[in-house]
């Protein structure tokens, strides 16, 4: 395919997306299927089918929701049901070409930095807001991977010791306040704490999308809930900025756009108020990511080209 440099595959809890990507991040061809459940072999067989269906001999970059070592072993993928699965080596053996594997939010951060909202910015962090809260860090133009490959889990920055329980087993993580399911629980607490009217009171169950819909309709409690979510996110952002000093903070993931009008002003305020030396510096902008559903596939593909250039170009994109 003209201009194609790599195949990017984004393995989420429910959907597996495959894209053929050009050097400038353009998606030239796309495929989607449900993420297979069950055995490791089922996942590797599905990945082989996707790569074979695209054809050619392009390198393959995979982003997966989980903890991934630098040599492409998925230590733990809670939503996909895999543990200690050597995805890179396993797929390389099946398709006979280089395969790189990174965390999905790290892939999205790299995608945004190369061809999205962070183009031209060497130092950025991305928080992804969806079923959970993920994160990715690019510093000096390179994806931060860490000693074990587990860097950038910004959703598990603890913003309140002993706070709300997080699916990771800790309490008070950003994810426990800003993930879709967490938004529903915070809304329920707001409804119990007040007797003001709200359209949310008529609903049998309250989840993140219900809260954002109510906020869009002008519901005051829903807007307060999303402002609280934004504040917690801002507290996490402040720690992240104090540690890493990025030039840009991006918010992406499935729920980002819907919560942004009510949450991001609160995030900016909460982050700015907690920065070290806040009277003597300008806080980095906190903005929406732009690649949407393509961020993971595009980022994973560009990561693969940096590691295994198909066209002789590219530079090492990870360390
Ligand atoms: Zn956590």
Structurally, the chain folds into a number of domains equal to 2
What pLDDT is recorded for position 319? Answer: 40
Residues 126 and 227 grouped into a single domain:
yes
**pLDDT tens digits for range 197-206:** 999 999 999 9
What pLDDT is recorded for position 166? Answer: 94
pLDDT > 90? residue 144: yes
Q: Phi and psi for 286 in degrees, rounded to 5?
A: -115, 110
Residues 166 and 274 grouped into a single domain:
yes
CB within 8 Å of 242: residues ≥ 6 apart: 274, 275, 276
Residues 284 and 180 grouped into a single domain:
yes
CATH number for 54? 3.30.420.40
User: How many angstroms is it from 170 CA to the middle of ligand 1?
Assistant: 5
Residue 108 in domain: no
- Residue-by-residue DSSP string for 216-245: HTT-HHHHHHHHHHHHHHHHHHHHHHHHH-
Residue 318 CB coordination number (10 Å): 17
Residues 301 and 260 grouped into a single domain:
no
Residues 142 and 97 grouped into a single domain:
no
Residues 10 and 136 grouped into a single domain:
no
Q: pTM of the prediction?
A: 0.93
**pLDDT tens digits for range 59-101:** 999 999 999 999 999 998 877 888 899 999 999 999 999 999 9
Residue 315 in domain: no
Q: Rounded to an integer, what distance in angstroms lies between the CA atom of residue 152 and that of residue 7?
A: 23
User: How many angstroms is it from 121 CA to the middle of ligand 1?
Assistant: 28
Q: Name the nearest CA neighbour of 122 among 275, 307, 248.
A: 248
Residues 43 and 133 grouped into a single domain:
no
Residue 154 in domain: yes
Residues 88 and 163 grouped into a single domain:
no
Residues 217 and 156 grouped into a single domain:
yes
- Mean pLDDT, rounded, for 170-178: 97
E strands, 106-174, are 124-129, 133-139, 142-143
What pLDDT is recorded for position 314? Answer: 39
User: How many angstroms is it from 160 CA to the middle of ligand 1?
Assistant: 11
Instruction: Compute, in degrees rounded to 10, the torsion defined by CA atoms 162, 165, 166, 172.
Output: -30
Q: Rounded to an integer, what distance in angstroms lies between the CA atom of residue 129 and that of residue 212?
A: 13
User: How many angstroms is it from 66 CA to the middle of ligand 1?
Assistant: 13
User: How many angstroms is it from 180 CA to the middle of ligand 1?
Assistant: 14
What pLDDT is recorded for position 299? Answer: 98
User: How many angstroms is it from 171 CA to the middle of ligand 1?
Assistant: 7
For residue 132, the enclosing domain spans 117-290
User: How many angstroms is it from 173 CA to the middle of ligand 1?
Assistant: 5
- Mean pLDDT, rounded, for 231-241: 98
pLDDT > 90? residue 102: yes
- The environment of the single-atom ion ligand 1, i.e. residues with CB closer than 5 A, is 156, 166, 168, 170, 173, 175
Residues 123 and 226 grouped into a single domain:
yes
Q: Do residues 200 and 210 lie in contact, with contact meaning Cβ atoms separated by under 8 Å?
A: yes
Residue 312 in domain: no
């Amino acid at each position: 395919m003209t201009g194609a440099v790599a195949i990017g595959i984004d393995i989420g809890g429910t959907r597996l997306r495959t894209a053929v990507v050009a050097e400038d991040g353009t998606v030239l061809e796309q495929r989607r299927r449900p993420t297979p459940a069950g055995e490791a072999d089922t996942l590797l067989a599905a990945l082989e089918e996707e790569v074979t269906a695209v054809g050619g001999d392009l390198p393959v970059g995979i982003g997966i929701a989980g903890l991934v070592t630098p040599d492409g072993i998925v230590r733990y993928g809670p939503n996909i049901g895999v543990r200690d699965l050597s995805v890179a080596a396993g797929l390389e053996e099946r398709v006979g070409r280089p395969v790189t594997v990174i965390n999905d939010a790290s892939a999205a951060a790299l995608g945004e930095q190369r061809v999205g909202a962070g183009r031209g910015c060497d130092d950025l962090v991305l928080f992804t807001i969806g079923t959970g809260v993920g994160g990715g860090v690019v510093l000096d133009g390179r994806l931060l991977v860490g000693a074990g490959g587990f860097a950038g889990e910004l959703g598990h920055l603890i913003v309140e010791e002993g706070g709300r329980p997080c699916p990771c087993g800790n309490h008070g993580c950003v994810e426990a306040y800003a993930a879709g399911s967490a938004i529903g629980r915070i809304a329920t607490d707001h409804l119990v704490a007040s007797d003001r009217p709200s359209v949310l009171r008529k609903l049998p169950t309250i989840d993140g999308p219900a809260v954002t819909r109510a906020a869009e309709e002008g519901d005051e409690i829903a807007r307060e809930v999303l402002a609280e979510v934004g504040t917690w996110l801002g507290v996490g952002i402040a720690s992240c900025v104090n540690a890493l000093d990025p030039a840009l903070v991006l918010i992406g993931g499935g729920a980002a756009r819907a919560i942004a009008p009510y949450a991001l002003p609160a995030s900016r305020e909460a982050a700015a108020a907690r920065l070290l030396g806040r009277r003597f510096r300008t806080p980095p902008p906190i903005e929406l990511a732009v690649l949407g559903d393509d961020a993971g596939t595009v980022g994973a593909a560009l990561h693969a080209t940096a590691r295994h250039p198909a066209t002789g170009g590219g530079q090492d994109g990870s360390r």
